[in-house]
Amino acid sequence: MGSAVLVVRLVLADLRRHRVQAAMLLLAVTVATATMALGLSLREVSDALYEQTQEASAGPDVVALSGETGPEVTSALTSLAEAPEVVAHHGPYRIVYADLTVRGSTSSPVVVHGFAETPGELDRPLVTSGRWVRPGGTVLERGFATALGVGVGDRVTIAGRPYPVVGIAVTSVTSIYPWAAQIGPYGGPSDYSGLAWMTRSDARALASSHDLPVTLALDLKLRDPAATEAFRDAHASSAMITFHSWQFKAEQDTVILRNSQPILVFGGWLLSFLAVTGVAALAAGRAVEQTRRAGLLKAVGATPGLIATVLLTEYLVLALAGDALGLAIARLTMPAVASPTASRIGTAGLTGGTVATATVLAVVVAVLSTLGPTLRAMRTATVTALSATAHQPRRRPWITALSALLPTPLLLGVRLTARRPGRAVLQACSTATTVIAIVAVLTLNAQPERGYGLDGSSVLPNLRGEHDRGLMLLVTILLITLAVVNTITFTWTTALEARANMAVARTLGATPGQISMGLSAAQLLPGLPGVVVGVPLSIGMLSLFTARNAVETPFLWMAGAALATLLATAALTALPARLAARRPVAPTLSAETA
């Protein structure tokens, strides 16, 4: 009982004293777990949303489609409706391929489903605003309507004829916008299309007015909803009929998320990596304090288990708090990320697997950050630990000799970097990660894409591309934020550690400007290899994810990104370096004699 109180007290005192480190760890873990949780749950959430939509709109299990019309097709479809596995059916109904124009300029391909004015038992699209079809009017699918910017009461032109929009509805019979066309005209390939409904007679009139392509569709509800494959195999006799199962549609829903998942998951990894580098640097700065504390506890008789608990609890507590925060954020932003179109309804939570993985990630980040100093603290003998002093940097005569040839700021920078090679590596990793993210954003933006408008016009933007770019940008901003925090912290920590030597240098005649530039150089010098490694790494990683016909980013852009990163690093280090370089010399010198 007493040891629990001790641990709590120590942790609270530490948190109060090391606020910056606590805030950094909390921020980094929150961001990393949120991203990772979002990425891991995307598919499941998408599936869950499809199922909820299917339930709400009484969606079918299988849709049988045929690009040809005629009595043969009709009778084949009708016989399907009487198959033993089928418990309910809707149709056959007409699907007409047309063009929809709104406000005179924005055009999109559209498939028009001809439905009865009173929806049946199966395939009852859920009307979210307005009313269901009436003669002379049309109901638009919600995702389509949102993309067009059309509401109830607006007028649209379909195949040259104006129709008022009388309602907006949601359905599971097609995949989300813009994959409303399940098969193309006459059974051929399909294009990005939206979905609209009209009355049966309106649909027939529309089709015959311009001799538009028509597909016949039949909605089926099976006794065993899961057995769609079996049903297809059993009835795949005619080449005229294509079967689309609900699983296929749900799968199609995730196409829009095809890049989102790797962006988020990989982004989560990179964020965790940056989190570890940043916090590890700070933890290394506290190594002496931790070693002394471990020595003290050993001297008063604490068990190794208790010591490890004391050393690790602070980080674990923060990591778990960050984990909880991150999961909450993921839960809140899930709908926007997993369902970029407005085509689906419902709510979805995070699965147990995701929560577990995210928590494990948070714990691993915490443990990795503090692993080195903790191990060192536990292994040092008690007497040595009690009088532990800062780890003396190793002497490297060739670096000293080399730096003597350089002007003063670089001399100081090189020597400062050499004192803590571990931190230099961390800074390089931080810079490399930032460069990877920026190059990824640039590459993504360089890809050509097809708009959702008529003939691929980008009047209607490619939602998938936008979604990807938005997510990528968000992840990059988060990465850059962490990298910025890391850089500032590294600079400040270096300055603190080296303050005695910097004070001596100032008494020997180094100006504050030279010291400040030296501190900046100490961060820039490791940044150079980071940038050099980051560019090819990012190209390599992107090639794993992008399509074969992806366009390569121009080299000039990547060089620009690398240069911008270096300049930004220099700018970020400037302020903390300047502050550190101007501290009064005398107190630092006197403090060292104590």
Partner 1 sequence: MNVSDVVVRARGLVKTHGQGQSRVRAVDEVDLEVPQGQTLTVMGPSGCGKSTLLHLLGGLERPTGGEVWVAGRRVDTLSERALARMRRRSVGFVFQAFHLVEELSAAENVELPALLAGRSRRQARRCANLLLERVGLADRARHLPSQLSGGQRQRVAIARALANEPLVVLADEPTGNLDTAATLDVLRIFEELRSAGQTLVIVTHDERVAATADRLVSMRDGMFVDDTRLAASHPRGLGGLIGLGD
| Phi, psi for 101 (deg, rounded to 5) | -125, 140
What is the C-alpha separation between 215 and 77, in angstroms, rounded? 12
CB of 502 to partner 1, least distance (A): 11
Angle, helices 260-285 vs 421-446, to 10°: value is 160
Nearest approach in angstroms of CB 523 to partner 1 is 20
For residue 514, the minimal CB distance to partner 1 (Å) is 8
The smaller minimum CB distance to partner 1, of residues 136 and 512, is found at 512
Please identify, using beta-carbon distances, which residue of 390 and 556 lies nearer to partner 1.
390
Least distance from partner 1 to the Cβ atom of residue 516, Å: 11
CB of 507 to partner 1, least distance (A): 5
d(CA 40, CA 314): 28
Applying CB under 8 A, the residues found at the interface with partner 1 are: 392-397, 400-401, 404-405, 407-408, 411, 419, 500-501, 503-514, 582, 584-586, 589-590, 592-593
Residue keyed to tokens 């930032």: 434
The nearer residue to partner 1, 189 or 397, going by C-beta atoms, is 397
Q: Min. distance of Cβ 292 from partner 1 in angstroms?
A: 20
Q: Which single residue is written with the structure tokens 């300049």?
A: 567
Three-class DSSP category at 301: coil
Q: Report the residue number, 38 or 503, with the smaller CB distance to partner 1.
A: 503
Cβ atoms of 59 and 220 closer than 8 Å: no
Q: Which is nearer to partner 1, 5 or 390 (CB)?
A: 390
Which residues, 6 or more positions from 184, have their beta carbon under 8 angstroms from its beta carbon? 67, 97, 190, 191
- Provide CB contacts within 8 A for 372, sequence distance 6+: 280, 283, 284, 287
Of 268, 281, 287, nearest in space to 488 by CA: 281
Nearest partner of 498 among 484, 479, 516, 482, judged by Cα:
516
In whole angstroms, give the CA distance from residue 218 to residue 79. 11
Least distance from C-beta 405 to partner 1, angstroms?
6
Which residue, 16 or 395, is less far from partner 1 as judged by CB?
395
Q: Which is nearer to partner 1, 109 or 518 (CB)?
A: 518
Residue with smaller CB distance to partner 1, 257 or 577 = 577
CB of 376 to partner 1, least distance (A): 20
369, 18 contact by CB (below 8 A): no
